[in-house]
Amino acid sequence: MRIDEIINPDPPRLLLLFDAEQEDILQIAGDVLGEPYVCIEAIEALGSHVDACVIGICNALLLEPGLLREGRRSIITTHCLDVGDQRDEALTEHCDYEYLYTRSPFLQRDLARFLGFVLGQIKPHDDLKGKTRTTLLSTTFPDIRSALPNLDILSVGADSVELRVDLLAEPGQRNLDSRPRVPSLKYVGEQVMVLRQRTELPIIFTIRCTNENGRFPMDDPSLSYHYLRKALQWGCEYLDVELWLPQDVRQRLSQVKGHSKIISAFHDFSGTFKWTSEEAQELFRQGAVYGDVVKMIALITKVEQNYDLETFRSGIQSAYTHPPLSGLNMGPIGQLSRTLNTVFTPITHPLLPIIAAPGQLSAAEINERLHSMSQLPSLELLVMGDVRTTGLATFFEKCLNELSLPHQIVSAGRSSADAISRMISKANFGGAVMCPPLPAMELRESMGMSEAATAIGHVDTIVARSSKGAAATCTADNATWKGIRATLTRDFVPSAYGGRPAILLASEESYAAAAIFALRSLNVGTIYTIGFKARPSAASHMQYFSGLDDLKRVMPPFVIVSALPAEKSALVTPLLKYYGRNGSEDPASSSSSTHSAGKVFLDLSNGLKRPDPVAVATALGWAAYGVADVHAWTAVETLRLLVGENVPFDFVKLASGNSLVL
C-alpha cells in the first residue's frame, strides 16, 4: 500500500538546552517524539550517549557553548517565560532553534508542532501547493493577544496567518514623535510564541521597511536580517523577505532556512509600475533565485492595469514551473486582482482593527466576487444519512455562510448506489458526505476511487472536481482516516509512532479499517488485533491476540485504539490498566538516567459509556482522546475535500457544539 505521507525513518538526534529547574520540558519533548531521553550534567558527556535520540542539559552547566557542535545534533535552546526571562542571545547564536513556551494547556501540542516542523515531518507548504487557491490572514494587532478571543473565527478561510512585525507596538517603546519603534526581539519572540500556541495555521513572519509603509530602516539591512534569522530559529514556516535587501542577506537566509520557506516580496507604491515592462520580468527572476514563492504588489491608478497583471501572470505561469507567483494590485481599483490571484492572497476580516493594505478583501468578499463573475458557480452539496442525529447539514450550512460560498446543502436519507449515480450526473452536483459511509464496492462502477477508499472499503465523501468545458469528475474518498491520524498527531510528531506496536480492538475488521489505514500511514510496527482477525489480503504486519498470554509476550504498545461500540467500550479498561502498570519503562533500557516516552489511547465509540474509557485512560497516565476530536478533524478534512476551504479545528468545535457525528 502506497501512502503519500512519507515519514523519515531515521530517529531524531536532538540536544535540548533548558533553564534551571525546567528539566520537565525534556520529558515533554521525549513524549512528543516517542523517544527515551537522557539528561547529562556536562557537555563532555555527549560522547557517552551517542545512540540516544534526545539529550538534555541545563543552560547553567554550559561553560563552553562552543563545544555544543561537537555532538553533531540539532540544538534547541528552550526557555519558559513564566519564571523570569532567562534568554541568552550569546548562547542562542550557537543553537539551531530557540523554543519559547509557557505553562499552558497547549504546551505539548505546541511543542509537537514545533518539533514536527523543524524536523521536516510536518510540511505545510507541500499541502498548500496542492490547493487551487491559498490565502493568508494579515493580522494587524499591536499585540497579538488581542486577537486570541476571536482567532478561530478570524481564521476561517485562511490557509496561513501573517504576523506583521512592523505593526506590533511594544508597550513603552515609542519614538520622540510618539510613533511606535521597531519592537524588540524579545517582544516579537513572545508574540510568535503566543500566536503559535493558538493557531494550527502556518505562520508567515513579515517585516516592512520604511519605504513600504513599515518601520524597519532602509539604511540598516543587518537589522532586518537579524529579525528574519530569529524567525527561522523560532520555527516560523514562512519568511517574507523583501527584494530590496542586499543579495548577500537574502542568500544567507536561504542557506540557513532549514524547512522554512521564503516568500520573495516586492512592493511598489509609486503608482508608475508597469506589469508589461521588462522590469517586471526581471523582478520575478530575481525573486525566484532564493524564493519558494514570489510576491509582487503594485499600487495602480487604472482598471486596465489589472488586465496587464493577468497577462503577466499568464506569461509567468507558461514560462516557469517554479516558483509560484502571487501578484496583486493595491487600492480599490486593484480589488479585481485580489479576487483573481490564487497564491497566498492576503485577506482581512471585519473583526480586525485595520486592514493591512489598501483594497484588501475578506475571504467571504472574495468568494462573493468570484460568484458574481461566474468563477464560483452555485453547487448542491449532498448530506446523506441520519441528518438530525449527525448535525452535519446544520454545521456545513454555518461554514458555507461564514465563507459566503454560494452552495446549497441538500439533505437526504441513506440512498442506493443507483440513486447516487443519478445525483452525481446533475450539472450542479458539488459533492456528498455520507454518514454512515457506504461500501466502496457499491460505487466502484459509477466513479473513481481514492487509494484510501479502496483500502478501507468504505466511502464517506464524494469529491466533485470540474474543469472548464467539461463535466465534473467524481471520486469516492474516505476522510475518516485523516481525522484519526490528525487526532493521533496533535500532541505527537508522526515519527513517534514509527515501528512501535499498536493494539486495535473492534468487533469486526470493517469497523477498524479506517484506523488501520491511519496507523499504517504513521508507519507503526505490528498491529495486534483483539476481537477480529484481519483478512489475508490486509494482514501484513498484523497479528491476532487470542488470549492473555499473547499480551505478555509483546512489547508494550505505544498506542491503543478501541473501535468497539459504546456498550462494549469498557472491555478496553483491563488493557489500559495492565499496560499502564507494566508499560511505563522501556525494558531495553537499564540506565537510571534514561527515561521512556508516554502512551496514547484513542476511543472511537459514539454514545454513552460507563465507565468512560477516555477518563479511565487519562487517570492512568495515558494521552487519551475521544471520538469527538476525530469527528471534528474529519469535518476539517471533509470541507477541504468538498469546497477546498480551510476551517480551523477550534472553529469546528465551536460551531458544532461538539455534537458532530461522522
Answer whether residue 1 is part of any domain: no
The CATH number for 421's domain is 3.40.50.10860
Q: 422 and 546 share a domain?
A: no
Which pLDDT value is given to residue 485?
Answer: 98
Taking the C-alpha atoms of residue 83 and residue 94, their distance in angstroms, rounded to an integer, is: 23
Q: Residue 306 to residues 112, 277, 299, 337, 368: CA-CA distances in angstroms?
A: 43, 14, 11, 6, 19
Taking the C-alpha atoms of residue 265 and residue 261, their distance in angstroms, rounded to an integer, is: 13
Which pLDDT value is given to residue 387?
Answer: 64
DSSP 8-state assignment for residue 180: B
Q: 344 and 434 share a domain?
A: no
Could you read off the pLDDT of 52-98 as tens digits, one per residue? Answer: 899 999 998 987 887 887 768 999 999 999 988 888 888 999 999 99
Answer whether residue 461 is part of any domain: yes
Q: 362 and 430 share a domain?
A: no
Picking from 384, 77, 91, 45, the residue whose alpha carbon sits closest to that of residue 235 is: 77
Q: 232 and 300 share a domain?
A: yes
Residue reference for cell 458574481? 372
Q: 597 and 539 share a domain?
A: yes
* 341's grid cell: 490571484
Answer whether residue 536 is part of any domain: yes
Could you read off the pLDDT of 17-60 as tens digits, one per residue? Answer: 999 999 999 999 999 999 999 999 998 888 888 888 999 999 98
Q: Which domain holds residue 491?
A: 483-625
* 338's grid cell: 485580489
SS3 content of the chain, % helix, strand, coil (to 5): 40, 20, 40
Answer whether residue 531 is part of any domain: yes
Which pLDDT value is given to residue 175?
Answer: 60
Which pLDDT value is given to residue 590?
Answer: 35
- Domain boundary (478, 504, 539) is at 478
Contact assessment for residue 288 and residue 244, using Cβ atoms and an 8 Å cutoff: no
Taking the C-alpha atoms of residue 170 and residue 521, their distance in angstroms, rounded to an integer, is: 44
- Domain boundary (368, 402, 422) is at 368
Q: 473 and 487 share a domain?
A: no
Answer whether residue 466 is part of any domain: yes
Measured from the Cβ of residue 391, the count of other Cβ atoms closer than 10 Å reads 19
- Domain boundary (426, 456, 478) is at 478
Q: 33 and 71 share a domain?
A: yes
- Let me know how many helices (H) and strands (E) the chain has, helices first: 23, 27
Strand 623-625 to strand 429-439: parallel, antiparallel, or no bridges (unpaired)? unpaired
Number of domains in the chain: 4
Which pLDDT value is given to residue 587?
Answer: 37
Q: At what angle do helices 221-233 and 247-255 cross, to 10 degrees?
A: 10
Provide the b/e sequence for 579-616 (b: ≥16 CB within 10 Å): bbeebeeeeeeeeeebbbbbbbbbbbbbeebeebbbeb
Q: 447 and 557 share a domain?
A: no
Strand 473-477 to strand 458-465: parallel, antiparallel, or no bridges (unpaired)? antiparallel
Taking the C-alpha atoms of residue 366 and residue 340, their distance in angstroms, rounded to an integer, is: 9
Q: 409 and 554 share a domain?
A: no
Q: 224 and 292 share a domain?
A: yes
Taking the C-alpha atoms of residue 26 and residue 45, their distance in angstroms, rounded to an integer, is: 17
Collapse the DSSP code of 129 into the 3-class scheme (helix H, G, I; strand E, B; otherwise coil) and give the result: helix
Contact assessment for residue 505 and residue 533, using Cβ atoms and an 8 Å cutoff: no
Answer whether residue 8 is part of any domain: no
Answer whether residue 260 is part of any domain: yes
Answer whether residue 404 is part of any domain: yes
Residues of the chain with pLDDT under 70: 1-10, 71, 174-180, 387-390, 415, 467-471, 581-598, 658-662
DSSP 8-state assignment for residue 433: E
Q: 474 and 503 share a domain?
A: no
Q: Residue 184 to residues 172, 401, 479, 577, 637: CA-CA distances in angstroms?
A: 11, 40, 44, 50, 38
Picking from 571, 551, 555, the residue whose alpha carbon sits closest to that of residue 563 is: 571
Which pLDDT value is given to residue 8?
Answer: 54
Q: 508 and 464 share a domain?
A: no
Which pLDDT value is given to residue 589?
Answer: 40
Collapse the DSSP code of 139 into the 3-class scheme (helix H, G, I; strand E, B; otherwise coil) and give the result: strand
The CATH number for 199's domain is 3.20.20.70
Residue by residue, DSSP assigns 538-588 as: G-TTEEE--SHHHHHTSPPPSEEEE---GGGGGGGHHHHHHHHHHSSS-TT
Which pLDDT value is given to residue 391?
Answer: 79
